[in-house]
Structure 1
Amino acid sequence: MQKIDSKEVYKGIIIRVEKDKVRLENGVETYRESVRHRNAVAVVALDEENHLLMVEQYRYPIGCKLMELPAGLIDEGEEPLEAAKRELKEETGHGAEAWRLLTEFYPSGGVHDEKIYIYLATKIKEVSKPHLDGDEILTSHKIPFKELLKKIELGEIQDGKTIIGVLLTEKFI
């Protein structure tokens, strides 16, 4: 596919929307719309008793609260691992001695270019009080791993990055 022309149709704080004129492999010219979004991280924070640190927060686009892994956007110039460490501390007040990249993936590649990096953090300990951004309201929870698996099976966990992170962590338990 070849991009012929590109037009930015919206620019917000977190996203931009582009409308591109493209030429497909078969020569047909058409349009593609895409959302440009900063990359993000999520952290599977696992303690010695196989409990995970989770956060529950209201997600405006879908109009409900979700139970999720601690997560957030990667700042410009920041490495994914550093962002993961920062988000874990900001949202839960915890740090970790051991870190492992579980996966990186595109949650909705047909619409936007965001990539999410999921890290497993072990040997966790409380290092401070949570320091939430001014526009964040969330509740922290510590949930047994097996209970989270059951919640996923029952459809009670609706967040994609959380489902992926929890399922990939099972082999480490």
Structure 2
Amino acid sequence: MKENGHVFLIGFMGAGKSTIGRLLADRLRKDFIDVDALIVQKENKSISDIFSEHGEAFFREKEAAYLKKISGGSIIATGGGILYFSETLEWMKQNGTIVYLQAPFSILYERIFQDSNRPLAMTKSEASLKELYSKRHDVYSSAADLIVPTDCRVEESVDLIIERLQKD
């Protein structure tokens, strides 16, 4: 783990970024920040409302801006599309360790199907979500410092992250 650096959790919707992030932060005694929740708080609107009123590009711009304002060595759960801006990825690489939380699409789809808090899951077909997953998987894999499976118990994923962070 980079000295005083963040741990950025990336991955597709339903990968466990928020759930794993909270437990990881508790175990490492660090602050936990969910960027999606931060945006909802700062914008005083739900993610679905932001998407419908301003579009995904606006949301991604806000996501990048709020991310860069976080200080200290926090555990940060990012949105599934955080890597849309190459400058955001570069900033993340310079300011912490990027952990890709990975699970097969079939498991993720079961977790997100008809979740009203996930605008993309509500508006896209299973086939289009699978295509999005495939595209993002390649980006996540190439961006990540660590790849950790999340198709197991949450505690197992957290243990693996801690073990791998301590090796770096």
TM > 0.5 fold call: no
Higher relative contact order (CA 8 A, sep 6+): 2
Task: Identify, as 1 or 2, the structure richer in strand.
Answer: 1
For normalisation by structure 1, the TM-score amounts to 0.25
Find the structure with the greater CA-based Rg. Answer: 1
TM-score norm. by structure 2 comes to 0.25
